[in-house]
Amino acid sequence: MKVKEVKGSICVVPSIEASAVYAGLTKKKLDVGLIYSKKPTVSAAVFTKNAIKAAPVIYDMALMKKLPDIRAVVVNSGNANACNSNGSEAVDAIVTKTAEKLGILKEQVFVASTGIIGEDLPYDKIVSALDNLTFTLSHNASGFAEAIMTTDTFKKEYALDCSFYGKQFHIGGVAKGAGMIHPNMATMLAFITTDINITHDMLDRALREAVNKSFNRISVDGDTSTNDTVFIMSTNEAPNEKIENENEIYRFFTDQLTQLCNNLAKMIVKDGEGATKITEVVVVGAFSKKDAELIARSIANSLLVKTAIFGEDPNWGRIVDAIGYSQAYFSINRMKVFIGDTLVFAYGRRADFDKTKVEAYMKNNEIKILVDLGIGVCTYNMWFSDLSYDYVKINAEYHT
């Protein structure tokens, strides 16, 4: 079994093509992207947990219940197509025109949007751009990765070339996200392609496991968007015997899919609006997995912890405070907290540690916090960004 990181993003899959154009939805960048599969596909998706959902999410959720052969994905930035007066009208126009231009069925088109909430989507600009989008399809995903960006400062792409006992398959992904990032579908869009030979049910199961171990474990600011979507499609072109149950190759594929999602998720945290550092919090020794998760999320979402990380201050008191209000089960008399490899809190009181050493560690771009509850065997981890002056500035000027 071999795994190698390669270039190509979503176009690492032979039958997948992509394109992007400037349609005038943003000021000066590519803002509409298209993914197209020349082969039939099976697909799966997970969506935002926000009760208020954008028109594309409402459409896609209904679409995916039909187990469609998705052949095209159209994504725009600059406008979320949410809480406006023409959301469903815009989706229908885009889907209809895309199907017409590609010679496919409307039920084979998936849509997504990201950007400002509440403004009508000038979908005529997207419809007009479809001529160029379909004409310029190629085996290059770089433009698509740019087209889905909003306040992102860099493209988020990753691809793997995998071999399972001589049976080769590929997985490629692209994502966007920098603000409104919160676990339980982090605020983001992600599109993943593969050619693994697999049934819909097993692809859906693999995606949900991968998302729960990656995108659902990141935090920037605690906001959950109206548009969150993670979508995967497989062309089923790989030479492996079709995956129909949780066998050895399914486990191998799911592990690699999780690796891909983890890498994209970490890129999102690193690109958090105004972020200067990324921190991993690991909780071990919990009585239950729920307790471990509650504590990890409490620390990752604490504004005081985030600002301490930004200020390079080893303020273990803020970490302990976040544990205290997490509503998890723990005993302060059995708990230990580490910043990096330094024990800073143990059994109910401050540990005797070299503050100068920990302050020096806090200057790193990547920080690790370990909480050992000492009462069980369950663990949970998350990644989160710090909270800087620039975050406030960016979000005072840009609204998504």
Pair (226, 371) in one structural domain: no
Domain boundary among the residues 240, 270, 300 is at 270
Q: In terms of Cα–Cα distance, which of 275, 233, 18 is closest to 146?
A: 18
Please give the pLDDT value at position 386: 86
Pair (208, 345) in one structural domain: no
Please give the pLDDT value at position 152: 83
Q: How many domains does the chain have?
A: 2
Amino acid at 279: T
Please give the pLDDT value at position 62: 97
Cβ 11 vs Cβ 172: under 8 Å: yes
d(CA 278, CA 213): 17
Question: Which long-range contacts does 339-342 make (Cβ < 8 Å, 24+ apart)?
Answer: 339/314, 339/367, 339/368, 339/369, 340/367, 340/368
Pair (163, 282) in one structural domain: no
Pair (316, 210) in one structural domain: no
pLDDT tens-digit map of 358-369:
999 999 999 999
Tell me if 333 is assigned to a ligand binding site.
Answer: no
pLDDT tens-digit map of 206-228:
999 999 999 888 875 455 678 88
Pair (91, 202) in one structural domain: yes
Pair (41, 78) in one structural domain: yes
Pair (251, 290) in one structural domain: no
Amino acid at 292: A
Report residue 88's pLDDT band, with 50, 70 and 90 as the boundaries. very high
Tell me if 279 is assigned to a ligand binding site.
Answer: no
**Residue 187 annotated among the catalytic residues of the structure:** yes
* pLDDT score of 327 more than 80: yes
d(CA 342, CA 241): 49
Tell me if 151 is assigned to a ligand binding site.
Answer: no
Pair (108, 189) in one structural domain: yes
Tell me if 400 is assigned to a ligand binding site.
Answer: yes
Pair (148, 165) in one structural domain: yes
Tell me if 101 is assigned to a ligand binding site.
Answer: no
Burial of 317 (0-12, 13-18, 19+ CB in 10 A): middle
Q: In terms of Cα–Cα distance, which of 382, 384, 383, 380 is closest to 283?
A: 380
| Mean pLDDT of the residues in the chain | 92
- pTM over 0.75, yes/no: yes
Tell me if 150 is assigned to a ligand binding site.
Answer: yes
Mean pLDDT of 75-81: 94
Mean pLDDT of 97-118: 96
Pair (333, 201) in one structural domain: no
CATH code for the domain in which residue 282 is found: 3.10.20.340
Domain extent at residue 354: 278-397
Mean pLDDT of 35-45: 98
Pair (353, 204) in one structural domain: no
Pair (264, 287) in one structural domain: no
d(CA 140, CA 123): 25
CATH code for the domain in which residue 198 is found: 3.60.70.12
Domain boundary among the residues 238, 253, 270 is at 270
Domain boundary among the residues 270, 299, 326 is at 270
Please give the pLDDT value at position 389: 65
Annotated catalytic residue: which of 98, 114, 134, 187?
187
